[in-house]
Structure 1
Amino acid sequence: MNGLLLTDGYKTGHHQQYPKGTEEVYSNWTPRSNKYASKGCDKIVSFGQQYVFQWLHDYFNDNFFSRPKEQVCKEIKEELSMYLGTDYDVTHYEKLHDLQYLPIKVKSLPEGVEVPVRVPMVTVVNTEKEFYWITNFLETILSTMLWQPMTSASIALRYKRIFKSWALLTDKENVSFIDFQGHDFSMRGMGGLQSAVSSGMGHATVFLGSDTLPVISSLRKYYNAEGFVVGSVNATEHSVMCAGTKDDEIGTFRQLMQTYPTGILSVVSDTWDLWKVLTVYLPELKEEVLARDGKLVIRPDSGDPVDIICGESRVLGGNSAKDKGVVELLWDIFGGTVNAQGFKVLDTHIGAIYGDSITTERAENICQRLHDKGFATTNVVLGIGSFTYQYNTRDTFGFAMKATSVVVNGERREIFKDPITDDGVKKSAKGLIKVDMLNNEYVLLDQVSPEQENEGALQVIYENGHFVNPVSLQEIRDRIDQNL
């Protein structure tokens, strides 16, 4: 696709609509509200800028600048003339092709830091006067690509904080387990490959467990990830269990353990009857499970996650399997240890994972109810899927890219929006902006001078086709962990 089509249709006429003599358009990308976000998501993780601008840079080079000007501009002229019902003038696109780079300067807050609502994370401004139109021409592609990695990283961090708080209460000697306690199961339910990758990279800034394989190569490409990036385990799916037949499900378990005599093996266990697996098959397989050099992980996949994992009864010793739930039933069979804090930790040969319809609220409830029954919350891994990561939009954190300053005939104009019919969420900053650190928190200063705008926490990451101040995945993870 021609790079000049990566925008909203109405952008194609905006170069003619700015005041005559416009020389500069300065815009910022800001999370404006968290009213649609999950409880506890009070700040937003800065992440994805390097990925998005590298992708955009490569796309324009491959699909615009490197192609013959006559061909690429002829294509766009024909398309837009039909689209708009007029003879579309592509002179401004021809001049951009002659330039051979995107004439913009991009500044960003460091990736991996948390940012309060209404504090800008990115600014974009044109660097050549005749390309004043390019700043907000890029708004659409930047918006569609930036909101999801930031949103998913922020939600992942909320999960990790839940896990950490409960691990400190119930199993503080094993707090490092939380790096793997939230596992990305989301790829199949995301809105396409790019959505799965951008969200999955956001998850991977926080957690080390993921089944979204494309994030590995993407993090190597865009964030210089080296060595181990994310990991997973050998695991079954329902087709495997069904192929083994319902009448011999215990035989399927035996075959799987023989196939994988060592390491972690996750087996989906509710293809037919989860409670039969837990009360009939596993007691019979107990010695074989304990003889393995590794952990067998039981994976329920249906029902209410909280009740399935923790049981419908709030106290130990319920009358039925449903009362007890997965973790208590596994304890009854395999036992384990009681740690120094007085909480039960399952034998190292057995564990549980649940990955259907998990939310931050359900994760909190699972941890609470395990705690109340006397179990360490580290007894379970939660698969975080599209029920968490796809049920979001740009409005989850109110992201928007808005112009706040223009230069017309050499005169700077501080501009802003503040719709009288809005509740204040859409009110923008005004003029040039600066982000400073005050009392260990990022704050916005607007209506600053050009000299002040050059200072502060926003640092140049891309200018006129060149990248500066690159960041690695490890640096991002370190920043996130420092504030966990």
Structure 2
Amino acid sequence: MYTSNFNNLILNSDSYKTSHWVQYPAGSEYMSSYVEARGGDYDVVFFGLQAFIKEYLSKPITQQDIDEAETIIQAHGLTFNRAGWELLLAKHGGYLPLRIEAVPEGSIVPVSNVVCQIINTDPEFYWLPSYIETSLLRAIWYPSTVASVSRYCKGIIRQALEKSADNIDSLPFRLHDFGARGASSFESVALGSLAHLVNFSGTDSMTALVAASRWYGMNKDMPAFSIPAAEHSTMTAWGREGETAAYANMLKQFGGAGKAFSVVSDSYDLWNAIDNIWGDSLKDDVKNMGGTLVIRPDSGEPIKVVREALQRLAVKFGTTINSKGYKVLPDYVRIIQGDGISPQSLGKIVDAVMEAGFSADNITFGMGGGLLQQVNRDTMSWAMKASAISIDGNWKEIYKDPITSHSKRSKKGRLALIEDSNGQLKTIRADELTAYSNNLLRDVFVDGKLITEDSLTTIRERAKW
């Protein structure tokens, strides 16, 4: 059985990449490739490159990496570019002779535009930009897609609050990340949950807090918050006959001025919990505790459940009419809906809430699989493609244009991203840049060094509505 360092960058690629160094034309010197999201329903929120560079590109390739990679790749049935990797070790100390430029993280870029571009800085390593395509593209598409979905959801909630609430001050806490247990891996949680925090300040993924400190300079400031919350086990442990006592215990443990806590209330009968327990037996305790009880439904058809829950709570606790003409529950009781939330269902729920006369201020959302797991590379059609090659000192534009799918047509040449005279972002060839055009792509990584580093705070400001 072959064993290897799990962080061996040579093995962090597709198998077929290992033979590509002999497939390029003789005289090849420089290869330029770019990354874009070719389509989809969301604007791109660019995020994640800095994390990848810090975790994987800031460490040199070692002789041990080369030896292990050769053993595995040759046993795998493929050729291995040992001379190339050993030259990299000898000439560059194992650091990759690459230049990666990209838009600043947190930038909002329409689809079909370049967001990242990579080129080798040493002509002997023309094969290297393509070799790291697998890891680089993955490092960008996943967190950028999650950040893009999260921002899209933020827009839905923002519009609902602008229409139906007195203010939107609570917007950063209106979509809570519930996705840790449903994500495919620990690193997916770290990247995806952190990407959500570009837009929001609520999460139950503690891994994201570690990631923010590790990769984005949040060593002292807390990037996100949560509240005490019940799960079914802590409620059903009291037995069905002890449901009231279980809820009363939550009030006792977590109630108090300025405090908030969440209680899942549908382990048995949500309507009984609202009408007869929260709204009757414990009503005075809820009103007088000084904090905010957040009732959490966790089953059923979300639109129907949220609307009916609000209506029943209004009967029991009353409402006021805000400046926009919508009903608002007392400050001490709210709802969080965390089951069945997706970008599509979210809009339908807030529409139903407002159609029933309630402000979106009454409800917060939790999003799990729809945020971190129900995305893939095709969600926004991400791709990394070679667009220019220098052969014997001459640059040549290269591209693909399959007759069977024009949507996969790639861009040509060395690229730049500019803001045109209408304020729109536009991809152009770098040789079209003028003294009056500012290339929004900036150097991020050059020859083993992270050139530009941003904190999560700075990235949030860029992505802010």
The TM-score with structure 1 as length reference comes to: 0.90
1:268 matched to 2:264? The reply is yes
- What is the one-letter code of the residue matched to 1:126? N
Could you tell me which residue of structure 2 aligns to residue 426 of structure 1?
408
The letter for the 1-side match of 2:358 is: F
Deviation at 1:187, TM superposition (A): 1.1
- In structure 2, the partner of 1:315 is none
2:14 to 8, 23, 42: 8
Q: C-alpha distance in 1, partners of 2:214/2:109?
A: 25
In structure 2, the CA distance between the partners of 1:85 and 1:444, relative to structure 1 (3 Å rule), is closer
The match for 1:458 is 441
SS in 1 for 2:400: coil
State whether residues 109 and 458 of structure 1, in contact with CA within 8 Å, keep that contact through their aligned partners in structure 2.
yes
Residues 71-110 of structure 1: pairs in structure 2 closer than 5 A: 71-84=64-77, 88-98=80-90, 99-100=92-93, 101-110=95-104
| Residues 99-155 of structure 1: per-residue CA shift (max 9 Å, x gap) | 221110011112112111110000000001111111010000012221111111111
Instruction: Tell whether 2:341 aligns with 1:358.
Output: yes
Residues 436 and 443, structure 1, Cα contact 8 Å, conserved in 2: yes
Contact 1:434 1:457 in 2 (8 A): yes
What's 1:469 paired with?
452
| 1:183 is aligned to 2:176 | yes
Whole-angstrom distance in 2 between the partners of 1:354 and 1:154: 21
Give 1:89 deviation, angstroms.
4.8
Partner of 1:332: 315
Tell me which amino acid in the other structure corresponds to 2:412.
Answer: K
TM-superposed CA distance for 1:256, in Å, is 1.5
C-alpha contact 1:178 1:378 (8 A) present in aligned 2: no
User: CA offset at residue 209 of structure 1?
Assistant: 0.6
- How far residue 455 of structure 1 moved from its aligned partner, in angstroms, is 5.6
Q: Which amino acid aligns with 2:297?
A: P
TM-score, with normalisation over the residues of structure 2?
0.94
Q: CA, structure 1 residues 450+367, in 2 after alignment: closer, same or farther (shift >3 Å)?
A: closer
Match of 2:138 among 141, 144, 168: 144
CA distance in 2, matches of 1:467, 1:78: 31
Matches for 1:8-157 after TM superposition, within 5 Å:
8-34=14-40, 37=41, 41=42, 43-58=43-58, 60-61=59-60, 64-65=61-62, 69=63, 71-84=64-77, 88-98=80-90, 99-100=92-93, 101-157=95-151
Q: How does 1:308-319 map to 2 (within 5 A)?
A: 308-310=305-307
One of 279, 288, 297 as aligned partner of 2:285: 288
> Which residue of the partner structure matches residue 319 of structure 1?
none
The corresponding residue for 2:379 is 396
Checking the alignment, whether the CA contact within 8 Å between 2:255 and 2:292 is kept in structure 1 is: no
Query: Separation in 2 of the partners of 1:91 and 1:141?
Result: 22
Deviations 1:59-107 (A, max 9, x none): x43xx33xxx2x3322222111111166x45111111222221110011
TM-fit CA distance, 1:392: 1.2
The answer on whether the counterparts of 1:45 and 1:150 sit within 8 Å (CA) in structure 2 is yes
Q: Secondary structure at the match of 1:94?
A: helix
- Per-residue deviation at 1:448? 2.4
1:254 counterpart (248, 251, 260): 248
Do the aligned partners of 2:18 and 2:81 also contact (CA within 8 Å) in 1? no
Deviation (angstroms), 1:298: 0.6
Work out the CA distance in 2 between the residues paired with 1:281 and 1:160.
Answer: 33
Structure 2 letter corresponding to 1:24:
Y
Aligned equivalents of 2:433 and 2:162: distance in 1?
47
Q: Does 1:211 align with 2:212?
A: no
What secondary structure does 1:235 align onto? coil
Measure how far apart 1:390 and its partner are.
1.1
- Please name the residue that 2:390 is paired with: 407
Contact in 1 for aligned 2:263/2:295 (Cα 8 Å): yes
Instruction: String of CA shifts for 1:243-275, please: whole Å, max 9, x gaps.
Output: 111111001001111111321110111111111
For residue 210 of structure 1, give the secondary structure of its aligned residue in structure 2: coil
* Secondary structure in structure 2 of the residue aligned to 1:234: coil
Structure-1 separation of matches of 2:35 and 2:115: 6
Q: Any gaps of 5 or more consecutive residues in structure 2?
A: 1-5
Matching residue of 1:381: 364
* Residues 102, 464 of structure 1: 8 Å contact kept: yes
Tell me by how many angstroms 1:451 deviates.
8.9
- Supply the distance in 2 between the matched residues of 1:236 and 1:47 (Cα, whole angstroms): 33
SS of 1:124's equivalent in the other structure is strand
| In structure 2, distance between residues paired with 1:148 and 1:76 | 26
Are 1:432 and 1:450, in contact at CA under 8 Å, matched by a contact in 2?
Answer: no
Aligned pairs (5 A) from 1:218-257 = 218-225=211-218, 226-257=220-251
Per-residue deviation, 1:361: 2.1
SS in 1 for 2:236: helix
Aligned equivalents of 1:205 and 1:468: distance in 2? Answer: 21
Which consecutive residues of structure 1, in runs of 5 or more, have no partner in the other structure? 311-324
Instruction: Please give the alpha-carbon distance, in whole angstroms, between the structure 1 residues aligned to 2:198 and 2:403.
Output: 39
Q: Which amino acid aligns with 2:208?
A: V
How many residues are aligned here?
Answer: 451
Alpha-carbon RMSD across the aligned residues, in angstroms, is 1.7
Are the aligned partners of 1:183 and 1:383 in contact in 2 as well (CA < 8 Å)? yes
Cα shift readout 1:183-211 (whole Å, capped 9, x = no counterpart): 11111111111111111111100011111
Residue 303 (structure 2) aligns with = 306
CA distance in 2 between partners of 1:431 and 1:188 (Å):
43
Say if 1:168 and 1:175, in contact at 8 Å, map to a contact too.
yes
The answer (yes or no) to whether the contact 1:185–1:211 under 8 Å persists in 2 is: yes
How high is the sequence identity, in percent, across the aligned residues?
A: 30
CA distance in 1, matches of 2:55, 2:146: 19
